[in-house]
Structure 1
Amino acid sequence: MTGPRDPADLLAELGDGRWQPPRVTPLAPRIELDRDSVERGLGSLVLTVIELLRQLVERQALHRVDLGDLTDEQVERIGTTLMALEEQMIGLREYFGLAPEDLNLDLGPLGPLLPRE
């Protein structure tokens, strides 16, 4: 093992063409992909984003209802819309074969992306 190299030597190598970028070797000669796993993975990612937005909209709507600045008609429309959106999410999860917990990404030390409802 050698010690640290002199920066002037490194710059000289770059300038005279001796430096070569490191060669990256592929992990496998071919990436094995199948349509079903790609579709399910993409569906999971898209539905995770949609579920995050749905929860944010729902919280904002409930906050507005709690403030009392909406008419009864607006409250009814919000409730109907949120229920319809939830039904659509259930249908899409079933289509892709996903459970609700499949849409919650683990962000490591930050915890899960979606709060538990």
Structure 2
Amino acid sequence: MTLNVDETSLKNGVLTLVITLVEVIEESLETQAVRRIEGGELTDEEQERLGQALLDLDDALEQIKKDHDLTTSVADLRQGLDDVVDELVDKLINPARWAEASREERV
């Protein structure tokens, strides 16, 4: 059995995944940066450099998405990841409701 792979589709899929993961990491970095700024851990110069680096990263990601026509696919993947995380958090917060729903599915 031969597996036929569309090279362009595969490259776009991998690039979509990489860009999406970098965006998730970027959001975590931004959250950590805000915590450090609010905690007074950074000098004004460090805040400026950090802010500029995050802006540069965001600009680069947007340019890559535009250049490769990935804006929609990245947004779709992000939404899918957000949905998975939301469901997981809900299961952790409301285990009794999820256990009941699981029992109802088996019946």
**Residues 6-53 of structure 1: CA deviation (Å, up to 9, x unaligned):** xxxxxxxxxxxxxxxxxxxxxxx4333222101100101111111111
Structure having the higher helix fraction is 2
Question: 1:104 and 2:78 equivalent?
Answer: yes
Work out the CA distance in 2 between the residues paired with 1:83 and 1:110: 26
Q: Percent identity?
A: 30
1:106 partner letter:
G
Q: Is this contact kept in 2: 1:47–1:103, CA < 8 A?
A: no
Q: CA deviation at 1:84?
A: 0.3
1:58 to 1:38, Cα distance in 2 relative to 1, 3 A: same
TM-score by length of 1: 0.62
1:70 to 1:110, Cα distance in 2 relative to 1, 3 A: closer
Work out the CA distance in 1 between the residues paired with 2:64 and 2:18: 10
Work out the CA distance in 1 between the residues paired with 2:52 and 2:76: 26
Q: Which residue among 76, 81, 99 is the counterpart of 2:53?
A: 81
How many residue pairs end up in the alignment? 84
Which consecutive segments of 4 or more residues in structure 1 shift more than 6 A? none
TM-score by length of 2: 0.67
1:109 to 1:72, Cα distance in 2 relative to 1, 3 A: closer
1:88 to 1:73, Cα distance in 2 relative to 1, 3 A: same
In structure 2, the gaps of 5 or more residues are: 88-107
CA RMSD of aligned residues (A): 2.1
Work out the CA distance in 1 between the residues paired with 2:26 and 2:59: 12
1:54 partner letter:
E
In structure 1, the gaps of 5 or more residues are: 1-28, 113-117
Q: Which has the larger radius of gyration?
A: 1
